[in-house]
Amino acid sequence: MATRSPRAPRGSKAARPNPRDERLELHAERLISAHELIPREGSLVVGVSGGPDSVALLDFLVGYRTRHGIPQGDLVAGHVNHGLRGEESEEDAAFVEEVAGRLRVRFMTSRIDPVARQRERGESLEEAARKLRYAALRRMAVAAGCSRVAVAHTADDQAETILLRLIRGAGITGLSGMRGAA
């Protein structure tokens, strides 16, 4: 098998420093500490799709653990292969495994079939994929002895969640974004 060189995350631009990165990281570290989102004792599965948001989250958490003296071995890069994009799905899994290796964190993967669930339950493909993905990440956490799962979301994801709830007829009390920690 030919050795592939690591590629930049899907959708990433040329690597150049963003002046807001340091402030964002400081803000994230304060939130993590204030809400005890990352256990000092215990492990954490990080959902990594191979896209820029999840790769950035994994990289940030590796740095966070280093800065705070928390063992790297307690991080697990969990990748869920939806199998929806053929060879590209396989390449994403291989890329996440490479990233995990470079960052020296454990790698776990799971394959799901959202199309079958969509047919069985009449859910949208996105809903079926999301439910199966989170179930797979929970199974990885149990298998790895992890107490938490972290996933990356952006402000656009929050806006999308609110719009979907509005479209589905959520009342005022139902119009909220994703919870920060559960």
How far are the Cα atoms of 153, 159, 171, 176 from residue 166, in angstroms, in the given order? 19, 11, 8, 9
Is 75 domain-assigned?
A: yes
Please tell me whether residue 138 adopts helix, strand or coil conformation.
Answer: helix
Nearest 5°: phi and psi at 34?
-60, -35
Tell me, yes or no, whether 102 lies in a domain: yes
Whether 177 and 107 have beta carbons less than 8 Å apart is answered as: no
Within-domain flag for 125? yes
Are 159 and 147 in the same domain?
Answer: no
Residues 45 and 117 in one domain: yes
Task: Pick the range with the lowest mean pLDDT from 1-15, 80-94, 122-136.
Answer: 1-15
Query: Within a domain: residue 13?
Result: no
Query: Do the domain assignments include residue 20?
Result: no
Please say if the pLDDT value at position 1 is more than 70.
no
> pTM value?
0.73
Provide the strand spans (E) within the chain. 43-47, 75-81, 106-111, 146-150
Residue 178 is part of which domain span? 154-182
Indicate if 146 and 158 belong to the same structural domain: no
